[in-house]
């Protein structure tokens, strides 16, 4: 058996968009991914279905996998011929122990590549409005570990050199040793009024900062229970923050959203919310397989006067089936409709003059197109709404159970303040797979701001005794963004 290949990849500091193109390409072809706590779990959604995901995360005093075990997994999986990804937060060469892992791979004759990433020591300050160098404030910059392998964990550093020879210093994971760091810098010549900023979860929407000086920051951090993961930036360059802070000015910065998910495609809504500064957790993650082709229906498409698509994905899947079956779309004589504004728009983008289901006339033979959730959960509603119809199932979806522990960790580290239900089905799914399965606490729905997109979604929420804060009469992405930007939470 030929050996596989290992990619040692820097995932960047948190913002999914900050991973390199090369890193993303490797994720898309991986068979096994070993990932750290600080690598954004959303990156794992770009892996192919069936890719094995192994959590290597480390918390203070609670290691999931020791370094030796991680290295052994890299070697053993590569020796079976698999493409293996080691996904590390930030840059793998900056306190990422990539040298140890690469050395072990080389010893076993395993091919590997090291893919650099954006280091959090540079990115987190930039997202806080602080470049780490500036001709006026700082022409030298150092990255320093804030703990080491000693019994007390206090780093043995060149304190005189750091205090007098470096303008700006980024300490990684330095909260526990903050008093020790400040004391030694002051003792070795750094002015006690030197500016300091702590940046927690840098580049995430939940990014938090705390600003002070070498004389005050340790007490300030204790008072507010500031914790890792964090970068401690020391230097007068911190003063630039007042002029060029940009990320924290985004309209949804700080908002942490749980978006109920019914589709397998990448969500445009989730991306737009993230672009506006929010942290977005999409639940759940789905796997999809094509349904058997129903040639009886396909050969008689000209018999239908109306075709109603229940989701954008069902549209793509349906026309893919037509092409693969050798059926010309010009054989369609029916008027086409989408069950939502989003579905109607997807039809329009394919060149069809389509409208929403509300505009559909009640006469003429109807074909309903959707996935297996339509078959299982919505037929009774469809019968009462549209009368008799034929049904075409495009695909079968099921929860990707491998992602459940990933979501659990995401929810533990987030403080969700907003829950968005885009559709009535999304309410049922979140209740069934999240709340009723004791995976998501019911209290979350009681304390968060609930937003229902449309009247049908409101009705589904009421059936589960969910009380929304807002119901959008116009269930569009633009209307949702306007509501969230203009509303308060917390």
Catalytic site positions: 36, 58, 173
* Burial class (CB within 10 angstroms; exposed 0-12, middle 13-18, buried 19+) of 348: middle
Strands (E), 305-421: 306-309, 335-338, 355-356, 366-370, 390-393, 395-399, 418-421
Distance CA 327, CA 297 (A): 12
* Burial class (CB within 10 angstroms; exposed 0-12, middle 13-18, buried 19+) of 286: buried
Distance CA 364, CA 168 (A): 73
Q: Where are the alpha helices (DSSP H) in 108-199?
A: 120-127, 159-165, 178-187
Q: Which of 191, 206, 140 has the alpha carbon at shortest distance from 170?
A: 140
What's the distance, CA 204 to chain centroid?
10
**Is 431 in a helix, a strand, or coil?**
helix
Which one-letter DSSP state was computed for residue 366? E
Distance CA 481, CA 471 (A): 13
Distance CA 86, CA 74 (A): 8
Q: How many CB atoms lie within 10 A of CB 365?
A: 14
**Is 420 in a helix, a strand, or coil?**
strand
Distance CA 421, CA 272 (A): 16
The answer to whether the beta carbons of residues 179 and 216 sit under 8 Å apart is no
Q: Which of 16, 21, 36 has the alpha carbon at shortest distance from 86?
A: 36
The answer to whether the beta carbons of residues 308 and 339 sit under 8 Å apart is yes
User: What is the β-pairing status of strands 355-356 and 418-421?
Assistant: unpaired
Q: How many CB atoms lie within 10 A of CB 391?
A: 15
Within 8 A by CB and 6+ apart from 385, the residues are none
């Amino acid at each position: 058996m030929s050996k596989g290949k290992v990619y040692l990849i820097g995932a960047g500091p948190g913002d999914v968009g900050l991973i390199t193109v090369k890193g993303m390409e490797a994720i898309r072809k991986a068979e096994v991914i070993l990932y750290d706590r600080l690598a954004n779990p959303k990156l794992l959604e770009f892996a192919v279905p069936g890719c094995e995901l192994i959590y290597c995360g480390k918390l203070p005093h609670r290691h999931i996998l020791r370094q030796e075990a991680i290295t052994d997994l890299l070697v053993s999986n590569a020796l079976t011929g698999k493409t293996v990804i080691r996904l590390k937060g930030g840059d793998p060469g900056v306190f990422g122990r990539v040298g140890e892992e690469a050395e072990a791979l080389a010893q076993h004759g395993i091919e590997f590549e090291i893919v650099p990433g954006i280091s959090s020591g540079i990115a987190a300050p930039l997202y806080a409005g602080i470049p780490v160098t500036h001709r006026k404030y700082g022409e030298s910059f150092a990255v320093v570990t804030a703990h080491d392998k000693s019994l007390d964990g206090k780093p043995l550093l060149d304190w005189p050199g750091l205090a007098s020879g470096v303008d700006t210093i980024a300490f990684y994971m330095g909260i526990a040793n903050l008093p020790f760091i400040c004391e030694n810098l002051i003792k070795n010549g750094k002015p006690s009024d030197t500016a300091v900023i702590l940046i927690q979860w840098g580049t995430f929407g939940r990014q938090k900062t705390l600003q002070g000086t070498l004389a005050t920051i340790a007490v300030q951090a204790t008072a507010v229970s500031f914790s890792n993961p964090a970068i401690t930036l020391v230097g007068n360059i911190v003063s630039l923050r007042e002029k060029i802070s940009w990320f924290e000015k985004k309209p949804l910065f700080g908002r942490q959203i749980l978006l109920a998910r019914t589709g397998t495609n990448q969500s445009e809504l989730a991306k737009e919310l993230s672009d506006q500064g929010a942290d977005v957790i999409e639940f759940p993650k789905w796997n999809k397989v094509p349904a058997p082709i129903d040639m009886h229906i396909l050969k008689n498409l000209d018999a239908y006067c109306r075709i109603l698509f229940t989701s954008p994905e069902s549209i793509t899947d349906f026309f893919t089936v037509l092409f693969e079956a050798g059926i010309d779309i010009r054989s369609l004589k029916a008027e086409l409709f989408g069950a939502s504004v989003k579905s109607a728009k997807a039809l329009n983008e394919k060149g069809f003059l389509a409208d929403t289901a509300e505009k559909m006339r009640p006469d003429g033979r109807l074909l309903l197109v959707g996935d297996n959730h339509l078959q299982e959960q919505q037929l009774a509603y469809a019968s009462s709404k549209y009368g008799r119809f034929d049904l075409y199932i495009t695909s079968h979806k099921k929860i990707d159970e491998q992602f459940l522990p990933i979501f659990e960790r995401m929810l533990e580290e987030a403080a969700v303040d907003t829950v968005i239900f885009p559709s009535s089905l999304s309410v049922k799914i979140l209740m069934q797979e999240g709340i009723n399965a004791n995976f998501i606490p019911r209290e979350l729905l009681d304390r968060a701001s609930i937003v229902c997109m449309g009247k049908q979604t409101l009705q589904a929420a009421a059936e589960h005794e969910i009380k929304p804060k807002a119901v959008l009469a116009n269930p569009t992405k633009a209307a949702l963004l306007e509501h969230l930007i203009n509303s308060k939470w917390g």
